[in-house]
Structures are given as C-alpha cells and as structure tokens.
Amino acid sequence: MQVAFFGGSFDPPHVGHVLLSAYLGTVAGFDRVLVAPVFGHAFDKPLSPFNHRLRMCELAFARLPFVEVSAIESTLEAPNYTLHTLQAIKQAHPDWQLRLAIGSDVLADTSQWYQFEAVSALAPPFVFARRGAAEAESGTRLLPEVSSSELREKLRRAGDPAVRRVLGELVAPAVITYAIEKGLYR
C-alpha cells in the first residue's frame, strides 16, 4: 500500500492542507494519506492543545475517504521527531510504502531536522511547490497559498463579518465553529 505521511502543526488545518491531501489521494495515486498532527513541536513552536488540533483535523478531512487522521504522536516519547513517528508507523504497518509529503519551503530547513537522511530513506519526500521556494516533485502549486499564522489572527477577529467571509473561503466551516466554540486563538 502506498501511503503519504502528512505531518504538521495543523493549527488550524486549512484549505491548503485539504487540497494537498486531495491531490495526494487522487492525482498522485496514494492509497492512503495519513494526517498526523504533531504532539509537541520539535522546534518548541507554541501550539494549541493537541486534542483540539486533532479534532479540527478530523473535521477538516472528514470528506476525504482515503485520509486517516492519526493521534500516533501522542503515544510516542517526547521530543517528537518525524523519524520516530515514521519508525512507529512502519513497525505497525510493515507492508506500507511511505512517502513524506512536504512543501518545498521545508527543504531549506531539513538541516535542522533530526536525522533527515534517515527520514528520507524511510519515507522519501514527495515535495510540493510553495510560494517563494524552489523545486517540487509534483510540479503542482496548489492554491491558495495559506498561512496558519494569518488564519489564527483572522480567527481572533471572527466576529467581524468581513473576516468571517474570508475565513469561510480558507477553513472548513466545522473547523471555524469548533475553534470559536472552544475559544482557540483568542
């Protein structure tokens, strides 16, 4: 089985994440896309609580039957490294052929990753074009370009009807509702 591993903060998950997953499961031909929110960011980036990001992923990807949202990182020892996550997945599913789905903007940061060479050997990167970055295996630039940090700022101002309209174009309605109900991003 060909499986694309798509890890990230997903704080919040947005249309760019959904489009990438849809592309992986349809055009790129992966049998499954495994979406895995990080439990704790390896670079100590502050994140919303894991359970909220996991639930927002479940809501955002619910209409894509080939996507599985995984809580695997919550079961692993800290610190969370992609290599350890991939090793745990491979141990549980030795028949899976893994690929790491990443944006071309991430390539410049791989020198900071924990054992990126081992990550690449276990799950060769499947690289997507991102604004301002070079080379992408897919040759496809999925639009719109969306920034989670910009979306968090918009979610802080979700009471403004104009901001809410923009959010509605970039984030699944169920995710917006959840984030507002849970008081995230205030």
Burial class (CB in 10 A: 0-12, 13-18, 19+), 63: exposed
pLDDT of residue 108: 78
Segments making up each domain of the chain, as ranges: 2-146
Phi-psi region of 94 (alpha: psi -120 to 50; beta: other; left: phi over 0): alpha
pLDDT of residue 134: 55
Q: Any idea which architecture 2-146 has in CATH?
A: 3-Layer(aba) Sandwich (3.40)
According to DSSP H, which parts of 93-160 are helical? Answer: 116-122, 148-156
Residue of 162, 101, 161 lying closest to 130 (CA atoms): 101
Dist CA 153 CA 156 (whole Å): 5
pLDDT of residue 135: 52
Mean pLDDT per 10-residue segment, the chain (186 residues): 96 94 94 96 82 98 98 91 96 97 82 91 89 56 76 92 92 94 92
